[in-house]
Amino acid sequence: MVRAIVGANWGDEGKGKITDMLAEESDIIIRFQGGSNAGHTIINDYGKFALHLLPSGVFYDHTTSIIGNGVALNIPYLFNEIKGLEERGVPTPKILVSDRAQILMPYHVDFDAFEEERLGGKAFGSTKSGIAPFYSDKYAKIGFQVSELFDEAALREKVERVVAYKNIILEHVYHKPLMDVEEVFNTLISYREMVEPYVADVSLYLDKAIKEGKTILLEGQLGSLKDPDHGIYPMVTSSSTLAAYGAIGAGIPPYEIKDIVTVVKAYSSAVGAGAFVSEIFGEEADELRKRGGDGGEFGATTGRPRRMGWFDAVASRYGCRIQGATEVALTVLDVLGYLDEIPMCVGYEIDGEVIKDFPVTYKLEKAKPVLKKFKGWKTDIRGIKNYDELPVECREYIEAIEEELGVPITMVSNGPKRHDIIKRVSKLSK
Ligand code: GDP
């Protein structure tokens, strides 16, 4: 059985925690897109970890963790992440890296920074992890696949071609020092040594696993609204964040993905530039940011303060639809326990008209939030295990969200720890 865990919003929904929790009863966990530009925060018996490249299942000894072909593979980063776990007493995880994954190169990181510098005030707010230059090269067919590391003669020839092309851009567009063929080649050879123990034909491995009835999790990074096709283009990431892409980025048939657990945040947060209709500012935002997540809403990779907002029903309903959500995990609900009243964005007003369906970007830029207020519950709901024990105002808020989404909320997360979860039977469940 293949199950995807993906985000409905702008990322940072708490997918890591849900994956970590569901990984307990799974055999294989796969990253299928993105790179080390976003992070998952996981708290377990070994401590608190921010994982950037490894899937969230690495803490169990019964699971296999896979980096799928769709990932932007930063090899030294992966190597250090594995070492970091071992240093903190986590048993050496079983890891496979797809031989079809492509390699994120140091020059991708440089080009990311050079482009942000060139754009100046009009920059995208990239995390400068090299993700956009990496995927550009992949689709321009000048990227390096892991498998190419094992054919040295062809590799050298390709390095020469790629470096010649990159140097034209470095010289004439960015006015930066040129790259050296030998250096790039040697970097790739050193990467081969690091990655070799993990390299596998992942789609073949998964084909067998599916036939044997193994439980497989696809772990998404970021969320629907950062998808390059269906998100707030161009303020998006460079690989698809949707469950559907899990089939491609892992190498499995699309019809094998039976369950799409879509993680929805009980309020909104976003990083980077772009329209954010339910955004709040000033003290109101500072308070929510300070109380949000586990120890505040600050980027797991960059430490940047996240932009904050109220729950956006328009964006989240769209986010669930475009994921093909079969069930929803509603997270960070405990954070809202301090509020007398909880506003929710239930519509967008654009040029005097109220809409309920998430629009394309130029319309989104003009949208003003239509807010509906809910009564706060004013208590700490952490530690509660049964849905019926939640305060009535809290259940009303959850049920209002479920009605807006039209997807059963089967899990409510009321704290950052693995077992801070309330399972729920929804009347929408078939
Ligand atoms: P991801 O990228 O979707 O995995 O999200 P992040 O890990 O970046 O952000 C989620 C943050 O919220 C982390 O700090 C988690 O430990 C924390 N978190 C997850 N679920 C909950 C929850 O239900 N309540 C609280 N208070 N924090 C949570």
**pLDDT 10s per residue in the chain (430 long)?**
999 999 999 999 999 889 989 999 999 999 999 998 767 777 888 888 888 899 888 888 899 999 999 999 999 999 999 998 989 989 889 999 999 999 999 999 999 999 999 988 777 767 788 999 999 999 999 999 999 999 999 999 999 999 999 999 999 999 999 999 999 999 999 999 999 999 999 999 999 999 999 999 999 999 999 999 999 999 999 999 999 999 999 999 999 999 999 999 999 999 888 899 999 999 999 999 999 988 899 976 678 899 999 999 999 999 999 999 999 999 999 999 999 999 999 999 999 999 999 999 999 999 999 999 999 999 999 999 999 999 999 999 999 999 999 999 999 999 998 889 999 999 888 6
Give CA–CA dist 287/31, Å, rounded: 33
Q: Whose CA is nearest to atom 20 of ligand 1?
A: 416
Nearest to 330 by CA among 422, 260, 419, 196: 422
Q: Whose CA is nearest to atom 18 of ligand 1?
A: 416
What are the pocket residues of ligand 1 if the criterion is a CB atom closer than 6 Å to any ligand atom? 7, 11-17, 38-41, 43, 293-294, 300, 331-332, 334-335, 413-416, 420
Find out whether 9 and 358 touch, Cβ atoms under 8 Å.
no
Substitution site in 332, 336, 411, 421 for ligand 1 pocket (most atoms within 8 Å of beta carbon): 332
**Ligand 1: centre distance to CA 13 (Å):** 6
Within 13 A of 9's CA, how many CA atoms are on the CB side? Answer: 29
pTM: 0.95
**Ligand 1: centre distance to CA 14 (Å):** 4
pLDDT in the model for residue 128: 83
Query: Given the CA of residue 12, which atom of ligand 1 is nearest to it?
Result: 5
Name the residue with tokens 């482009």.
Answer: 115
**Ligand 1: centre distance to CA 283 (Å):** 22
Substitution site in 17, 31, 334, 424 for ligand 1 pocket (most atoms within 8 Å of beta carbon): 17
The residues annotated with a catalytic role in the active site are 12, 40
Give CA–CA dist 140/138, Å, rounded: 5
**Ligand 1: centre distance to CA 416 (Å):** 6
Find out whether 203 and 252 touch, Cβ atoms under 8 Å.
yes
Give CA–CA dist 213/219, Å, rounded: 19
**Ligand 1: centre distance to CA 329 (Å):** 12
